[in-house]
Structure 1
């Protein structure tokens, strides 16, 4: 386990303060005692949406544990040399005495001053000065030294899931893989064959359904704008199911996939859904790890003590769940919003219900997480709320599942849902313990599933994979270059020094 990041140390202390010396709701926050911290206060941390935290504290130094009001704090970001700044700012009230401030820059600035104000009084060490250049997301200006970038991002030294996935591949031969993987998978599956050479991206696709390539293109383009990637060549599975079913000592082929399973050897990345939410925060997506934190529903005592689920019919157990809900409507509220896989059973398990806003899920204390075609990709967002998650035991997993602990971050449920009613009843009978699990799951999501960590995961995965290569990555026949998007409106000048790592 890596050392805790500086801003997470402050965050954990603020959460600890909630338990040990939290003030009563209604206490007035103090500008001098309130804490402000986070990566968005560092010029070197370039993210699509930068963010930092405010923890309100009263005049005696006690942390507030309830919201002092959505409009309590005002945040202004200005440049001393620019009359206008093109920056979109949101202050998100997390309703537990803390606030998440996010901002998206649409231009690069030589210097920024971040003002955090409480009734026109500066909070903590405000104004926070970011000595530039402060690069915006669209600026193609990679840090030449990967180790320097990792240090600026406060990346962990390693991820256990990456170490486990790569342990099956003592070496990687790009020449052999370039020939064998398309032969083995290219006709029946949808694949992308990527080469990164001199920090430029090249790709060739295989298969019919390659639309999900846009997510991988986007994260690679974003990464190469921020840091120079090592020369590397790899294959990405664009489908739902992991592909490499062989087991040692058979010849294994390294395939990057959004999802892993206990029966496969794919190399797992953050899901396309979580990846898009990071890239498009404050952009075209409305559901992301930040917006969820400001939309967690009513306080715990006011939540509906019913287990809630909505979704489509992508697995037999989901049919069983809806059947359970019909038999026990006072315990489970589960219904389908769409039929696709079991249309012939619609008369048995319908009628369909209208879609419910994801944020309205958190009106309920208990959230049921059940597999779809593979792992249910909503789990990060369910954890980020303040309801407790009842998670089905599953052979599928996302990149972070191995870090989760049953009964600490979620309540486990058997794969066949045979003990679901029993687990819901346990949660009802042990309300304080269930609430504690909900908050631990929420803290896990806040710590491990934010955008900075997702970028670190992708970079470290690519870096460690590149080290395994025994032949030189090449730009193969029929590969096309993946161009950086043009930014004619707000171009930037890059001031990086040209010092590369020795890999």
Structure 2
């Protein structure tokens, strides 16, 4: 990962100091400061994200976009606040190896304004310096935009998400009072659930079941959202398990359950997975795999990748056993192996020895990635798409919140559920290399545009907003619910300068 060199005040609160383009690069690939492009949400003060980001496209003196890297240290990025002697901002410039760069930065304090300098050999690039008129709030600042529609406009959220429309179309109304009685009776003894109420933009929760540790992911996104925008009063139940729960037919009485995974045989309301959600919240934090870091670690250029289909994982599904057996029979076509066994008996004569874990970024040394279900949908698909290998996706009854926007043969190569045509599909890709590369790049573009942090926040907000409108009784703080406290921000507290929702209405 191209993290640059850091001049550190208080680790990890660092500012990236990047060297210039390496001497000796061919003249045709030299970017021009005036022609190169800079854009993205990280250049706007009103878009508050855990990690802000923007893009640089290197363009040469003739106006032509570079399509290969001019050198990972070509551009220097500095972020300063004129009113502050020290800016506690960690910056990384990630070389995407295609002539473009992703710049990400995590703020550890709030600033009255920020100046973002993008430099090429000490010359300002495009319209640098970019001035963010403050206050510019950091992730830990409790300062919600009081009007949801204003926040949506700032975030450039889409008008709707098709999956939300599909999920909620089964419910003409939702009765929080009835659900508060019926859902715990129906599911609470056998399943792990969280019962949430958001009231006056504060989060309250009660848990049911034994295994409720995964509520930390839901708590975290709700707290993060309520720091950024005032949520409508809303009451709902979240399934903390892998499998979606609502198996009744639409003609029967359905109970609305929010889940991280959906299926063709259930009626759960689907959210972005806990894995993708955490990676958004903890980018440049405690996670090493996220949608941004993948973009800087896509392996060698397409022509230099290994033309073998690659897979690593555990034994959480019968088809995974078949995949590893297929690999052992055709090692020149498929490299698939288990890293551990948990669900089935490990027969080494059938499945070979366990192998060591491989860095996810090393997956992209291979042209072909196999995505095969685990206990439910394999939650690695967003990251596989974000690379520049082509994904072979098993036909599945399970889906994540974005699956139905993907199109076979455009964003991925489909494979039968029983993997019966996998060898044939890999051979097709080998015989049609240009087409396979085109599919890989289309999948990558989808992930880069639809699965980044701003899109994930928009999805959650639009979901809660649409669901709240279906409620026919008032959401309540029920008996046994506890307040989910916002984390303390004692080190760098912020002052919120926003007007309240009442003041906004008075102005209108």
Partners of 1:127 and 1:488 in 2: CA distance: 31
Partners of 1:391 and 1:103 in 2: CA distance: 33
Q: What is the CA distance between 1:344 and its match in structure 2?
A: 4.7
Count of residues paired in the alignment: 479
- Verify: 1:338 aligned to 2:375, yes or no: no
* Corresponding residue of 2:112: 110
Deviations 1:353-388 (A, max 9, x none): 000000000000000000000000000000000000
* Corresponding residue of 1:189: 191
* Corresponding residue of 1:13: none
Partners of 1:302 and 1:190 in 2: CA distance: 47
Matches within 5 A, 1:453-472: 453-472=455-474
**Unaligned ranges ≥5, structure 2:** 1-25
Partners of 1:43 and 1:28 in 2: CA distance: 31
SS in 2 for 1:389: strand
Work out whether residues 28 and 60 of structure 2, in 8 Å CA contact, stay in contact via their aligned partners in 1: no
Work out whether residues 25 and 68 of structure 1, in 8 Å CA contact, stay in contact via their aligned partners in 2: no
* Corresponding residue of 2:416: 414
**TM-score, structure 1 length as denominator?**
0.94
- 1:54 equivalent among 49, 53, 56: 56
Deviations 1:257-311 (A, max 9, x none): 0000000000000000000000000000010000000000000000000000000
* Corresponding residue of 1:31: 33
Q: What is the CA distance between 1:350 and its match in structure 2?
A: 3.1
Partners of 2:275 and 2:349 in 1: CA distance: 31
- 2:166 equivalent among 146, 164, 170: 164
Q: What is the CA distance between 1:181 and its match in structure 2?
A: 0.2
Work out whether residues 25 and 66 of structure 1, in 8 Å CA contact, stay in contact via their aligned partners in 2: no
* Corresponding residue of 1:230: 232
**TM-score, structure 2 length as denominator?**
0.93
Work out whether residues 165 and 268 of structure 1, in 8 Å CA contact, stay in contact via their aligned partners in 2: yes
Matches within 5 A, 1:8-19: none
- 1:299 equivalent among 298, 301, 305: 301
Work out whether residues 325 and 351 of structure 2, in 8 Å CA contact, stay in contact via their aligned partners in 1: yes
Partners of 1:174 and 1:62 in 2: CA distance: 57
- 1:87 equivalent among 86, 89, 100: 89
* Corresponding residue of 2:10: none
Partners of 1:476 and 1:84 in 2: CA distance: 46
Partners of 1:347 and 1:86 in 2: CA distance: 55
* Corresponding residue of 2:103: 101
* Corresponding residue of 2:3: none
Work out whether residues 146 and 499 of structure 2, in 8 Å CA contact, stay in contact via their aligned partners in 1: yes
Partners of 2:475 and 2:447 in 1: CA distance: 36
Q: What is the CA distance between 1:343 and its match in structure 2?
A: 2.5
Structure 1: 4+ residue segments shifted above 6 A: none
Partners of 1:377 and 1:188 in 2: CA distance: 24
Partners of 1:150 and 1:178 in 2: CA distance: 30
**Unaligned ranges ≥5, structure 1:** 1-23
Work out whether residues 339 and 346 of structure 1, in 8 Å CA contact, stay in contact via their aligned partners in 2: no
* Corresponding residue of 2:429: 427
